[in-house]
Structure 1
């Protein structure tokens, strides 16, 4: 049976501007729309901060407590996990008493308002350290149909185990946004997307663009394999506005910094085969990782087998083509699109967990389908 999901509109539009693929705001209306979202997310920063910090504290408490943790991060808490660290269930995260509410107090008696990291010595507000900017390009590797609804998107791709904890708030209300669909897709450890294994035959010897915004880029690989779905998937935020995924740390490819793509749909149609058709699109963005972490992962198998490792190497965040990394900080540079990462165990090869919160306008509908 086909089911249609929808989210009731909460508040009127901050602004109406149709945004095409990687179209920077140019008109007065588009610029004001972007800045309105910016201001709203800024004022939501304390709420976002506690939202993110609470999820991190709950996870850390479970790991440090030595209590049995849920199997594969998302199974019911009643299923034993052989003591391996993983993310807590939604019930564990948001049970009363699981984590302190409100602002914390340092040993020196100073009030601390934390937006991301729980650091006892911190006394300054870190306003936007975990808020993802609105609206950047979806890129050429999105599949308009066939994205599965699932939390574990890794399939049989080999790589560093990575859990992603993605919170969504509505900038109209500064509250977590439940029942929206977070859709993510990424490259594998050697820089390929599912369905796009090779360059077009006439572009096999193509060299990267030199100079300009497209510096370092190659033409997009065509989709020639239509059954592959690995490292693609979508999941509905729970009643607390959180969607969680199991994946691997993404690899890199020519011209682009390491990243994960994301869309948020406020309505969609679920198909009988477990995939969905998108409806109202409220957000398009890209997540990034710290360069130092990227460089460490580069030393691990199978990331060392990236075919461009010894030819062109990775693109650092600050050299990301099309200015996507820069654009992801917003028109006034107030956002931070980088996951806050933590080790799952004592060493990096035991896996990672990353936290980020997206501030979106739940009443907004955009046109951001790839037209390149």
Structure 2
């Protein structure tokens, strides 16, 4: 499967298992004599031109990131699993951000000081986070997409994007 097809598949489903290089504490429930599972790390993408550091701001710790933005509600559920053992990874921070239906990002340009469509959560015991947002807009040269970053122990570890194909 090609990288773009993989990312598009995640976007179409609105949910995805994102493989992350790392390990999970505890026993693997698989047969100890079986070979270890093999998982592939999700492709790394650019953080884009509009990331913000959310590290020291608890305001962004939220499930619903819409604020005053109007658009089609879109629930995004992500699952982070370890590359070494394919098991869910708990207690990781996942940041998301994307533009509104008009292609504007909060925190930049005329939107300086705004915080819409940005947030983070901590993965649960199933390695999952779920955000309530709106379907992302687009801007010249880019397909609809949602950026995300994964942090392990408050250390930036991975960045990628969920992309949404244009229906023809």
Whether TM exceeds 0.5 here: the answer is yes
2:78 to 143, 163, 166: 166
C-alpha displacement at 1:289, in angstroms?
A: 1.3
* Aligned: 1:153 with 2:60: no
Equivalent in the alignment of 2:166? 291
Matched residue, 2:39: 44
Alignment map for 1:186-201 (pairs within 5 Å): 186-198=98-110
In the TM superposition, structure 1's runs of 4+ consecutive aligned residues that sit over 6 Å from their partners are none
**Alignment match, 2:151:** 265
Q: Verify the 8 A CA contact 1:134 1:283 in the aligned structure 2.
A: no
SS in 1 for 2:96: strand
Hey, what's the Cα distance between the residues in 1 that align with 2:141 and 2:72? 22
The 3-state SS of whatever aligns with 2:60 is coil
Give, in whole Å, the separation in 2 of the partners of 1:137 and 1:161. 25
Q: For 1:197 and 1:259, locate their aligned partners in 2 and report how far apart those are by CA, in whole Å.
A: 20
* Structure 2 residue corresponding to 1:138, chosen from 42, 47, 52: 47
Partner of 2:133: 247
Alpha-carbon shift at residue 239 of structure 1 (Å): 0.5
Q: Which runs of 5+ in 1 are unaligned?
A: 1-8, 12-41, 46-131, 199-223, 269-279, 296-372
Equivalent-residue separation in structure 1 for 2:47 and 2:141 (angstroms): 16
CA distance in 1, matches of 2:95, 2:107: 17
Aligned length: 132
Q: Distance in 2 between matches of 1:189 and 1:197?
A: 16
CA displacement at 1:197 relative to structure 2: 4.3
Q: Deviations over 1:256-277 (max 9, x none)?
A: 1110000000123xxxxxxxxx
Determine helix, strand or coil for the equivalent of 1:251: coil
CA apart distance, 1:134? 2.8
Contact 1:161 1:248 in 2 (8 A): yes
With normalisation by structure 1, the TM-score equals 0.33
Residue 238 of structure 1 is matched in structure 2 by 124
- Quick check: which has more Rg, 1 or 2? 1
Taking a change above 3 Å as real, the CA distance of residues 260 and 161 of structure 1, as seen in their structure-2 partners, is same
Does the Cα contact within 8 Å between 2:73 and 2:134 map onto a contact in 1?
A: yes
- Cα RMSD between the aligned structures? 2.2
Alignment match, 2:87: 175
